[in-house]
């Protein structure tokens, strides 16, 4: 037994030396590091330990990664948030970790930021929570700022980008793997319809839209085994705005929906009922057959937490 011990230690050492985990650990310990981002380049002298987020759209990703987040900007309280303005999908996690409100109602507050003494600020290049217009002010105050564009990336891509910047490669990889495992687990327990589905943004702020096949919501449905239809070419000329969704008028919505089932972005059962009662859509097969399903209130933007909620919303209607 004593002879076996040195051999075991040698083997264990070799596993550590040559394992991918060691590579990640080594990468996490390399400081300083220079990171390119949407507003230029930043050099971080050491691994951040006091991060603030001015973008609630990315806060959930930071929490899922296990980032040392001390405060986040809050949006205006609504049915999608708690009373502080934290999005419901991650509000409880933020509270458990002692994350404070950086400033309320997305109203930029330099004094509040300075008061938290962050060693890194995460900002967005786009969206209602963007503070990129204050980037030069933040630099002048000596606040290290990393700007991320969440409009053209999945949450996994954003997490990977941030994980590399923050020295959280290992935790980020584990988070993504955990999410992928959940997708695979749920996919094995549901029976998607054989015909394609369409994701619809129905009367959200008086707007109407159809999810593109490349949208995060469509990608998640496809990972669960659904076939997703985007906007047909015949109505492409009627699109008024494009992002992850193609926006069209209410009168053109019927022609834009080709799926035999409909999933409602940010939808609840009340939204399902409203769509089913819409005379403009009455002749759609999905409406006639009552194949209309909500994706849940948090599905408007997919991160780790809202993604899990969307998975459960879908599974609840298609379990074997």
At the top level of CATH, the class of 197-318 is: alpha beta
Count other C-beta atoms under 10 Å from residue 99's C-beta: 23
Transcribe 156-222 into DSSP letters. Answer: HHHHHHHHHHHT-HHHHHHHHHHHHHHHHHHHTTB---SS-EEEEEEEETTEEEEE-TTSHHHHHHH
Q: What region, left, alpha or beta, does residue 92 occupy, with left being phi > 0 and alpha being psi -120 to 50 degrees?
A: alpha
pLDDT of residue 240: 84
CA distance 104 to 76: 7
CA angle, 106 then 150 then 29, to 5°: 100
* Domain limits, the chain: 20-178, 197-318
pLDDT in tens, 41-67: 999 999 999 999 999 999 999 999 999
pLDDT of residue 28: 52
Would 20-178 and 197-318 be classified into the same CATH topology? Answer: yes
pLDDT of residue 238: 87
pLDDT of residue 236: 86
pLDDT of residue 320: 84
pLDDT of residue 197: 98
CA angle, 297 then 301 then 302, to 5°: 100
CA distance 57 to 55: 5
CA distance 146 to 144: 7
Instruction: Pick out the chain residues at pLDDT < 70.
Output: 1-28
At the top level of CATH, the class of 20-178 is: alpha beta
Q: What is the pTM of this model?
A: 0.87
């Amino acid at each position: 037994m004593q002879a076996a011990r040195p051999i075991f230690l040698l083997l264990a050492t070799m596993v550590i030396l040559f394992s991918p985990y060691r590579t990640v650990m080594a990468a996490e310990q390399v400081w300083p590091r220079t990171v390119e981002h949407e507003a230029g380049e930043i050099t971080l002298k050491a691994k951040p330990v006091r991060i603030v987020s001015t973008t609630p759209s990315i806060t959930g990703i930071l929490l899922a990664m296990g980032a040392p987040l001390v405060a986040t900007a809050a949006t205006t309280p609504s049915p999608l948030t708690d009373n502080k303005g934290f999005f419901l999908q991650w509000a409880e996690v933020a509270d458990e970790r002692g994350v404070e409100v950086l400033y309320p109602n997305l109203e930029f507050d330099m004094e509040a930021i300075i008061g938290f003494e962050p060693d890194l600020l995460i900002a967005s290049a786009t969206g209602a929570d963007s503070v990129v217009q204050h980037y030069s002010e933040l630099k002048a105050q000596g606040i290290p700022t990393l700007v991320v564009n969440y409009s053209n990336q999945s949450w996994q891509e954003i997490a990977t980008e941030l994980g590399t910047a923050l020295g959280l490669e290992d935790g980020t990889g584990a988070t993504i793997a955990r999410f992928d495992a959940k997708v695979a687990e749920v996919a094995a327990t549901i029976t998607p319809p054989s015909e394609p589905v369409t994701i619809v943004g129905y009367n959200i702020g008086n707007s109407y839209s159809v999810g593109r096949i490349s949208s995060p919501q469509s990608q998640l449905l496809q990972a669960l085994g659904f076939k997703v239809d985007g906007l047909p070419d015949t109505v492409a000329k009627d699109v008024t705005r494009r992002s992850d969704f193609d926006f069209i008028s209410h009168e053109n919505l019927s022609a834009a929906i080709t799926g035999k089932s409909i999933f409602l972005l940010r939808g609840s059962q009340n939204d399902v009922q409203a769509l089913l009662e819409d005379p403009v859509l009455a002749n759609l097969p999905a409406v006639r057959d009552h194949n209309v399903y909500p994706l849940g209130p948090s599905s408007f933007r997919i991160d780790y937490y809202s993604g899990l909620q969307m998975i459960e919303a879908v599974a609840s209607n298609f379990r074997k």
